Structure 1
Amino acid sequence: MPDGPVGHPWQAWPVPPTARRPSASTATADRSGPTRTGSGRAAARPPLAWDEAEPAPVVLVTGSEGLLAERAVAAVVAGAKERDPDVEVTRLDGAGYSGGSLGVVTSPSLFGEARVVVVEGVEQGTDELMTDALTYLGAPADDVVLVLQHGGGQRGKKLLDAVKASGAPVVLCEPIKKDADKVAFATAELRRAGRRADAAGVRALVEAVGADLRELAAACAQLVADTSGLIGADAVSRYYGGRIEATGFRVADAAIAGQTGQAVALLRHALATGADPVPLVAALAAKLRVLAKVAASRGRGSGPSRDLGLAPWQLDRARRDLAHWTPEALAAAITAVAQADAEVKGAGRDPVFAIERAVLRVASAAAG
């Protein structure tokens, strides 16, 4: 059983100050509790990442990235079970919530068992849920961990603000959009499984399946299960090679390297396998933006490069590519891609022709 008085297994954890106000000596001794302002109110804690989620009397998991939210909730439940393997876990659906349900599942237990209550879909919650949760927040039970999972949006904002103001931990689970962050996620995912991938392998994996975080996590799991040793680009290509080509990043890589024939061949393969011209142009534009960023930071030391929001492999690749690019050629390529972007989005009659012309112009600028 966890530390603390019988029937109060979570009492050692910080309770929001709206529930009880400790004495000055207790507040000084309990360094894990919420920070207080000069007026005695709790100061909002810095938000936590999904893998920092731990049990507390009230935990808010917020954000629209479903995979990370699921993992954060699972981490809280696992932490509670680690303290007490017999902890009872109850899940409530926000959209189907009936008034009084929260009070029933959090009411004192006859035998003092520890409990975890997970309220899912708070952003779709009924008015009764909002009222009951706000009431509960005023006096959380000592033997209960309440997890409020909010998928984003304005619904329930009053409750979210109250939770944050109480000093309860807030776990952010927002979508991962930057390639550098996806690389970091995939690297960490493999590391958690006891495996490593080289820079080229991680980059190939992100290019293949990085648009969807859940799919990226599943791809990492498959590579861990089906390969051995250091995971490289060859291993990724065996499983996801066709998809890498269809993303357009290989098309952009070949064009920026001045490999006209390969770029056109990859482009036609991508189009034949169902790729849309719009994301293909976007891939070209993204690669050129990276080149322009890195080119602009030249001669200003290493500091600016660290602020570009790029992964180390992206910086290294861009610096190598820039070796055969002039400022004039880069400007011409950016102009060509901007024209293609407008044409594939309705300004032109033939999107396929527009993207092929852009690839040819970029490759020609690089080769020249």
Structure 2
Amino acid sequence: MSHIRLCEPWTSQSTPVLVTTVRHLSPGREAAVRHLGGGSRPRRVLGHDEGVTPPAADATPPHPVHLVVGEEELLAERAVQDIVTRARAADPETDVRRMRIGEIAPEDLAEHLSPSLFAEGRVVVLTSAQEAAKGMATAVLRYAAEPADGIVVVLVHQGGARGKSFADDLRKAGAEVVRCDRLTRPAERADFVRAEVRRLGGKITGDALEVLMEAVGSDLRELASAAGQLVADTGGAVDEKSVRRYHRGKAESSGFTVADKVVAGDRAGALEALRWALVLGVAPVLVADALADAVRTLAKVGAAGRGDPNRLASSLGMPPWKIRKAQGQVRSWRPEGLAVAFAAAAEANADVKGAAADPEFALERAVRRIIDAREMR
């Protein structure tokens, strides 16, 4: 029976990386599912936060066979590093060998998996496991059935249909599985950034989180790098002002900035932000999507009433800080105005996706119409 670990954001205060439900955990850590990267104590992030002191490593010896599966490259790298760290905590002299599975023969693998004369620890990392030929897959599964003491095998598999039967066989053979699925939803990436900042000993406000994600984008590695830089340079208190200071240009010209000024009724500021965004190459469709999201958020929050943001979060499908912010904004809107704004945002989306000859003019018109709608009395 395999043991499964998930690469997901988490909020626990414990320090080890990738804590899971497997029986190899120390007492009191079972049943916790966390994001790759440890607890709230500061820790080095792949070279981005030099000078930050890492927490003490978990000295529990790792499982003999691991399957790291998923497309999220950064999380897979951290999963492998966590296994290596745990192995070296148990045996500081542990040797690490990395190789692509399609570039070695089964007989070569047998040599890497044979105990040494002096019984030193060893971690053998086999990347691109989805490329394993039949003979190699058989050799790995044979080893998984009777692993050698002190030797840990880590297979990194991208997931998907290719090599799926090999991955399934590894699970059945008892491999400890670490899932590193791609984070596709903005909420998942927001949880990742929040956990990343917390892991480094910092705290990020909701507004700062939104601006950071708009400025940096969806690439997890870049988000991790930006989070590490901000925590290191601010002393841990990451607010909107600090994000805008370090990401000036992108943050000031994002679709989010335009939309935020629009729903707040800042006509001059919204038009200036829109023109600056277009000059810097922000795609019109991103601005249109941000406008639609901002109006849709106001409509949903307004319809929900003045409830507790923390309680409304699950039913509305958005974080409490976003609900709290929208509750303050929607007070300046009438239902009739929101209906007009909703129609304007929908028209702008259609225009930038081909219905209009000039998408930039269509966006400026939408900005004016939405602000006019806010002023309806």
TM-score w.r.t. the length of structure 2 is: 0.78
Cα distance, 1:196 vs. partner? Answer: 2.7
Deviations 1:92-131 (A, max 9, x none): 2134343333322112322222211111122344444433
- Shift of the 56–288 alpha-carbon distance from structure 1 to 2, 3 Å rule, reads farther
Separation in structure 1 between the aligned mates of residue 34 and residue 232 of structure 2, nearest angstrom: 30
Q: Is this contact kept in 2: 1:118–1:146, CA < 8 A?
A: yes
Letter in 1 for 2:36: W
Q: Mapping of 1:201-212 within 5 angstroms?
A: 201-212=208-219
- Shift of the 305–214 alpha-carbon distance from structure 1 to 2, 3 Å rule, reads same
Higher gyration radius (CA) = 1
After alignment, is 239-248 or 48-57 more displaced? 48-57
Q: Mapping of 1:147-186 within 5 angstroms?
A: 147-186=154-193
Is residue 258 from structure 1 mapped to residue 244 from structure 2 by the alignment?
no
- Shift of the 310–107 alpha-carbon distance from structure 1 to 2, 3 Å rule, reads same
- Shift of the 147–270 alpha-carbon distance from structure 1 to 2, 3 Å rule, reads same
Q: Is this contact kept in 2: 1:277–1:355, CA < 8 A?
A: yes
Letter in 1 for 2:188: D
Aligned residues: 331
Separation in structure 2 between the aligned mates of residue 234 and residue 16 of structure 1, nearest angstrom: 46
After alignment, is 45-54 or 232-241 more displaced? 45-54
Identity of aligned residues (%): 41
Deviations 1:249-279 (A, max 9, x none): 0001011112222111100000001111111
1:332 to 320, 333, 340: 340
Cα distance, 1:48 vs. partner? Answer: 6.8
Aligned to 1:64: 71
- Shift of the 59–255 alpha-carbon distance from structure 1 to 2, 3 Å rule, reads same
Aligned to 1:281: 288
Separation in structure 2 between the aligned mates of residue 291 and residue 172 of structure 1, nearest angstrom: 36
SS in 2 for 1:135: helix
- Shift of the 46–99 alpha-carbon distance from structure 1 to 2, 3 Å rule, reads farther
Separation in structure 2 between the aligned mates of residue 365 and residue 90 of structure 1, nearest angstrom: 63
Cα RMSD after superposing both structures: 2.9
Separation in structure 2 between the aligned mates of residue 306 and residue 104 of structure 1, nearest angstrom: 53
TM-score w.r.t. the length of structure 1 is: 0.80
After alignment, is 79-88 or 345-354 more displaced? 345-354
Aligned to 1:305: 313
- Shift of the 220–164 alpha-carbon distance from structure 1 to 2, 3 Å rule, reads same
Separation in structure 1 between the aligned mates of residue 168 and residue 252 of structure 2, nearest angstrom: 45
Q: Is this contact kept in 2: 1:99–1:132, CA < 8 A?
A: yes
Q: Which runs of 5+ in 1 are unaligned?
A: 1-14, 18-30, 35-44
Aligned to 1:244: 251
Aligned to 2:41: none
Separation in structure 2 between the aligned mates of residue 171 and residue 311 of structure 1, nearest angstrom: 27
Cα distance, 1:167 vs. partner? Answer: 4.2
